[in-house]
Structure 1
């Protein structure tokens, strides 16, 4: 029985030193911070984690760092293994299993794209079979991969071929497609929602969990949103979602990923800058942004100073 990814799953940043080199020593701070914010799962080396800007060795080092730090803080680790190189992806999946991580995930290759749904299933089957003892989640994010197929059809075709298929990390704004995926095979698949700005819409359709980057620094906001929704207080839940959108738009106005990493530094978790070609904000831009965010009341506690 696969334990589903219910609640909030933080899509974590990859920590770098100021010179851009990997900083795995920061991972325990990340794990401690998430735990103190009430988050008990981390999706590592994904889009937020700048996966395609990491070397093979760096990704393995991050897996090892999270495998070491996570148990002390009750964090389940989902390792993103996706790569444009299938052998690398298979290697990452195998390492994740060797380290007893919670689950493995993979997005589609984005340079030589699978031309058919069957080709995508072939690709996922090869990766998932490299970690047969771990739940496998396909990571659907067509805005970045350019690969888009009906996910309910993917689940139908992949299910008999991938015994450890757990579901989909659904980072696709198509709510109709999301609803179909939730209902596939009588609703047996786990389909965590992957777009922070409209979590409430996914909850209305039956979502039980979400994977997001802003859960790193604003988890209490989203947990309050989820609680209000389940208590039937839609007015409060909608207001909290509006604040989430306002927060994300403010951060994105100076370059979302670089700014989000800088925000983590102000919370006592120095994940450093983003790697090129992602831009990083200036110190003055962050100084101007922080009062706006605090006025919105959206940031988590300063938990790791």
Structure 2
């Protein structure tokens, strides 16, 4: 079963097309610095502005790059249309992904029963494990703990939740009432607190830039070395904060470009490059960190 450190991968573009060679190189860098899994086409991967063909292309690249290297692929397969989510999940399974990450339906704001039925339909359409993804700040709907627990208890292949609602009481409630549900941090600022309260891993934005630090932070926490894990979490405070000075993934792609990890700095509209002020802020913050190539 999936656990440990993983990054929500950015999607590099060149001339408004997916830069396949850079994508492969970035995934290989994740493997080199100790990440247990890669997560293509989530929020950080600009999935909302990729075509279905591009979405599938990213999953295929990740699966092929990670094959036989001991690194799993947790493929983004979410939509606000249940049938689209099913199609993406089935493609990910066919392609060889180890599990799928399914974001809660955005924009249409379903009820909790609607969320339950959506996830039930997606999970039942595949045999591979499904991780719930709760990020109400982006989707406009919160997967309430009772709904997550109900899904976990009722549906065999729902095994985990990526929590990014920012509330530690949610983590405590989930741990209390569904102790076998695996909880993953979806908020870099509180990676350590979530791990120290029973979390089984992190799905990190910062990990795109500093996979060595995120993998060590997670490893220390999971092996009970909480003092060492907390020290890294504290060390990363400034960069974690600046990487959300504008909407994700605007700052992380800028930081990677400044650090020389990207040849081009491209986004899909409606996302744009950071403001001059925030670009300077990112540059100044990066001076305090060693970015390994």
Tell me the TM-score normalised to structure 1 length.
0.86
- Closer/same/farther in 2, CA of residues 156 and 69 from structure 1, 3 Å limit: same
Q: Which residue of 1 aligns with 2:150?
A: 157
- Closer/same/farther in 2, CA of residues 114 and 268 from structure 1, 3 Å limit: same
Q: 1:285, 1:137 → 2: CA distance?
A: 33
Q: Which residue of 2 aligns with 1:301?
A: 292
Tell me if the contact between 2:44 and 2:205 (Cα under 8 Å) persists in the aligned partners. yes
Matches within 5 A, 1:195-274: 195-226=187-218, 229=221, 230=223, 232=225, 234=227, 237-253=229-245, 257-265=249-257, 266-270=259-263, 272-274=265-267
Q: Which residue of 1 aligns with 2:20?
A: 24
Tell me if the contact between 1:14 and 1:271 (Cα under 8 Å) persists in the aligned partners. no
Q: 1:256, 1:123 → 2: CA distance?
A: 26
Matches within 5 A, 1:104-123: 104-115=100-111, 117-123=112-118
- Closer/same/farther in 2, CA of residues 62 and 6 from structure 1, 3 Å limit: same
Say if 2:277 is the partner of 1:280.
no
Give 1:282 shift. 7.1
Give 1:183 shift. 3.0
Q: 2:96, 2:250 → 1: CA distance?
A: 31
**Can you give the 5+ residue segments of structure 1 that lack an aligned partner in the other structure?**
none
2:182 equivalent among 186, 190, 195: 190
Give 1:140 shift. 0.6
Q: 1:216, 1:171 → 2: CA distance?
A: 17
Q: 1:9, 1:208 → 2: CA distance?
A: 11
- Superposed CA deviations along residues 251-282 of structure 1, whole A, max 9, x for unmatched, are 44476522311333434354742211222137
Instruction: Give secondary structure in 1 for the equivalent of 2:203.
Output: strand
Q: 1:228, 1:99 → 2: CA distance?
A: 33
Give 1:82 shift. 0.8
- Closer/same/farther in 2, CA of residues 150 and 176 from structure 1, 3 Å limit: same
Instruction: Give secondary structure in 2 for the equivalent of 1:109.
Output: coil
Tell me if the contact between 1:48 and 1:257 (Cα under 8 Å) persists in the aligned partners. yes
1:129 equivalent among 94, 109, 124: 124
Give 1:225 shift. 3.3
Say if 2:166 is the partner of 1:173.
yes
Instruction: Give secondary structure in 1 for the equivalent of 2:182.
Output: coil
**Can you give the 5+ residue segments of structure 2 that lack an aligned partner in the other structure?**
none
Q: Which residue of 2 aligns with 1:88?
A: 84
Q: Which residue of 2 aligns with 1:6?
A: 3
Tell me if the contact between 1:255 and 1:280 (Cα under 8 Å) persists in the aligned partners. no
Give 1:232 shift. 4.6
- Superposed CA deviations along residues 95-142 of structure 1, whole A, max 9, x for unmatched, are 011012010121121121212x221110011111221x2101110111
Q: Which residue of 1 aligns with 2:136?
A: 142
Give 1:290 shift. 3.8
RMSD: 2.5
Give 1:90 shift. 0.7
Q: 1:27, 1:165 → 2: CA distance?
A: 29
